[in-house]
């Protein structure tokens, strides 16, 4: 058991000074961005990983991980926030050097124009350029006009076998193929694996519709409960990054660490260390492998 779980308050207090210094280091703002062969891959975090922590703690933990890139779940900035609350949150993130790469996952389950507009208005006020979302077959076409009106991209998140609307990347691609190009896919590689779909092939099929990614790893590719730190499971992480580089992907790869919810940092650090190694190897021209 780590100190994160035993005494989180003490830990946050002890590291606050060190984190203030770390925030000034060049590594913080640049270390998680990899420009390789025309790609521009940013390693970030889906804030669902920090669902048991408040916004101030999330910022501190991001600094310790060394990434400024954050996809914000409404645990950390509620959808019904007042304009004043939104402005305060924006100032807090900006002061810490956090780059808000999107929000989500946001539910669009109601075929209600007012509900849909309110969520796009929220994204506009915060300054999100992307909404990772969970629509239905009915609400997704309704959302297209708001994509055009607000110039905000939507990335439909596939949620695996349990998702009756969009279980696989291909189901999302089929639904958005005739919509505005700003309507695309947030591919969750763990949920993709559990449907039996080939992860790398799914990335190829997505092409320019791949607007965002959630990365995790599984010790059993078909079992949701088998999640482990990235690099400790059986998902083809090096091949995933190799394909992203090949297709010149320019989006985020956000770690969504769903286990150890009160003690996530050890596993998240391992995940970032492994992804760094993979990308460093690819940048230097080394052959990919899962070892």
Question: 183: helix, coil or strand?
Answer: strand
Tokens of 174: 């089929």
Tokens of 239: 């091949």
| pLDDT computed for residue 31 by the predictor | 61
- Residue at 14 is within a domain: no
Q: List beta partners, residue 45.
A: 70, 255
* Matching residue, tokens 């949150």: 89
Query: pLDDT tens string for the chain (291 positions)?
Result: 333 333 333 333 333 333 333 333 334 445 688 999 999 999 999 999 999 999 999 999 999 999 999 999 999 999 999 999 999 999 999 999 999 999 999 999 999 999 999 999 999 999 999 999 999 999 999 999 999 999 999 999 999 999 999 999 999 999 999 999 999 999 999 999 999 999 999 999 999 999 999 999 999 999 999 999 999 999 999 999 999 999 999 999 999 999 999 999 999 999 999 999 999 999 998 877 765
**Cβ atoms of 166 and 157 closer than 8 Å:** yes
- Residue at 42 is within a domain: yes
State the total domains in the chain.
Answer: 1
- Residue at 3 is within a domain: no
- Residue at 274 is within a domain: yes
Tokens of 276: 């760094």
- Residue at 291 is within a domain: no
Tokens of 234: 């059986």
Alpha helices for 97-156 (secondary structure H): 113-126, 139-150
pTM: 0.89
- Residue at 76 is within a domain: yes
- Residue at 5 is within a domain: no
Alpha-carbon gap, residue 96 to 102, rounded angstroms: 17
| pLDDT computed for residue 139 by the predictor | 98
Question: DSSP character for 160?
Answer: -
Domain that holds residue 73: 19-283
The CATH number that applies at residue 227 is 3.20.20.150
End-to-end CA, the chain: 27
Spacing of C-alpha 213 from chain mean position: 6
55 Cβ contact partners less than 8 Å away, ≥ 6 residues apart: 76, 77, 89, 92
- Residue at 267 is within a domain: yes
């Amino acid at each position: 058991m780590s100190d994160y779980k035993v005494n989180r308050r003490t830990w946050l207090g002890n590291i606050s000074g060190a984190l203030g210094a770390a925030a000034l280091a060049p590594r913080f703002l640049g270390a998680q961005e990899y420009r390789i062969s025309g790609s521009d891959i940013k390693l970030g975090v889906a804030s669902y990983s920090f669902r048991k922590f408040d916004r101030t703690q999330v910022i501190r933990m991001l600094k310790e991980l060394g990434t400024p890139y954050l996809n914000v779940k409404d645990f950390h900035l509620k959808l019904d926030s007042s304009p004043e609350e939104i402005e305060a949150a924006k100032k807090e993130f900006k002061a810490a050097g956090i780059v808000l790469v999107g929000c989500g996952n946001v539910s669009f389950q109601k075929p209600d124009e007012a509900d849909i507009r309110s969520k796009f208005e929220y994204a506009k006020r915060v300054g999100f350029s992307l909404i990772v979302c969970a629509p239905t077959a009915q609400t997704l076409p309704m959302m297209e006009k708001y994509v055009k009106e607000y110039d905000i991209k939507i990335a439909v998140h596939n949620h695996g076998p349990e998702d009756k609307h969009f279980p696989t990347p291909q189901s999302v691609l089929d639904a958005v193929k005739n919509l505005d190009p700003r309507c695309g896919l947030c591919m969750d590689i763990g949920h993709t694996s559990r449907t039996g779909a080939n992860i790398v092939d799914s990335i190829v099929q997505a092409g320019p519709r791949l607007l965002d990614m959630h990365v995790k790893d599984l010790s059993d590719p078909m079992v949701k409960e088998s999640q482990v730190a990235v690099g400790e499971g059986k998902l083809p992480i090096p091949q995933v990054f190799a394909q992203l580089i090949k297709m010149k992907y320019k989006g985020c790869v956000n770690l969504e660490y769903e286990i150890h919810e009160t003690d996530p940092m050890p596993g998240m650090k391992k995940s970032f260390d492994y992804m760094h190694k993979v990308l460093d190897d690819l940048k230097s021209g080394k052959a990919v492998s899962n070892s």
